[in-house]
Amino acid sequence: MPSKRTILPLVMLIGLAVQSLSADDAKPRGKRVLIKESATLFVEDPDGSDRRKIAEHVWAAALSRDGNLVSYADFKGVYVFSLLDGQSVTLARLTEGHVHSLAWSPDQRLVAYDVEVRMKSWNLFVALYPPSGAGPRDLGHWYETLSFSPDGKFIVHPSFDPTDHDILQTINVETGKRETIYKAAATIWEAKYAPDGSSIAFTMTRAEPKSSSDDDLDCTGPETDLWILPLGSKKPVKIMDGVFGFDWSPDGRFLAIDTGTEDCGYPPGDGAVFVSSLDGKVQFQLSKDAPSMGAKFSPDSKNVMFVDFNASRIVIGDLATRKLAPLTGPGSGGHGYVLCDWK
């Protein structure tokens, strides 16, 4: 039988080994990139190494703030997969409909997701992580995207008021109370809180579309522009015309912007990635080949990743040098690439 002197060093060695393993697995921020490749979800390092398949037939996915948890939705439910131990838990079962958008609360205790049942309903749900016996809470009617405030107390989204007026609406996550913060002159499509919570960026259909010939009217459609609304203000500021999507830099100083004019499919033939300061005074095109779309900032705000559809590859752009480097590792995903998150 081993003595106490033998057992103690052995326990210490085991503890150090476990501690070392945890340190290796819990990678520093910026080491997780979440990519969909033709609806199959992968996570990998930004240099293309350590690629892991998470799930198939995925509609939406997001990384937790620390980058160690993946929340995702498929046809059957909403789940959380731990990158530390490889374990998966089910947050919700779906009997009908599918998830459009999904997001972690800043404290990683909640996953918010919306479920659209065609011609029937479109509602927002909030599920606890780890899951509780009570199940997800239904917070009522929803529309388009969702974005948590930095303190996790509110979620913002586009909606309509009782008079069918287009609005930006916030919902209190705890109480479910809704508040209109902006009445728009046209349709709002996407809205996201700034990292510091001081403003909300959103895309809105241009009230008066640019003139076009009858031949190409069906393929241009109403263009959407990017606006920033300081909280407490009723006067948003336009940042850029012809915007498909955007991403805040984590430091809140810049926006990575997907631009394009065609509305007959994704990606638009003239799709490009721009970077803009919040006042719009500094703007430059980062992508070189069209179409390029799906921009995501790195956690340190120094790089932007996007899809170069013409070359069927993912590219990382350095904002300081504006040099582009291909991401190695992914297969030839082509138009099936979607950049979900980078943490």
Torsion 195-111-234-178 (CA) sign: negative
Examine the pLDDT at 165 and tell me if it is beyond 90: no
Longest dimension (CA), the chain: 91
Buried-exposed string 245-259: b where 16+ CB fall within 10 A, e elsewhere = bbbbbbebebbbbbb
Torsion 23-29-35-41 (CA) sign: positive
- Model pLDDT for residues 270-290, shown as the tens digit of each residue: 999 999 999 999 999 999 999
Phi-psi region of 47 (alpha: psi -120 to 50; beta: other; left: phi over 0): alpha
Q: Among 40-54, 71-85, 209-223, 301-315, name the one with the lowest average pLDDT.
A: 209-223
- Specify whether the CB–CB gap between 150 and 197 falls below 8 A: yes
DSSP conformation class of 16: H
Q: Quote the pLDDT of residue 175.
A: 97
- Specify whether the CB–CB gap between 33 and 70 falls below 8 A: no
Q: Residues 292, 54, 329, CA angle at the centre, nearest 5°?
A: 45
Domains of the chain: 247-343 (2.120.10.30)
Examine the pLDDT at 10 and tell me if it is beyond 80: no
- Model pLDDT for residues 99-158, shown as the tens digit of each residue: 999 999 999 999 999 999 999 999 999 999 999 888 999 999 999 999 999 999 999 999
Tell me the percentage of the chain whose pLDDT exceeds 70: 86
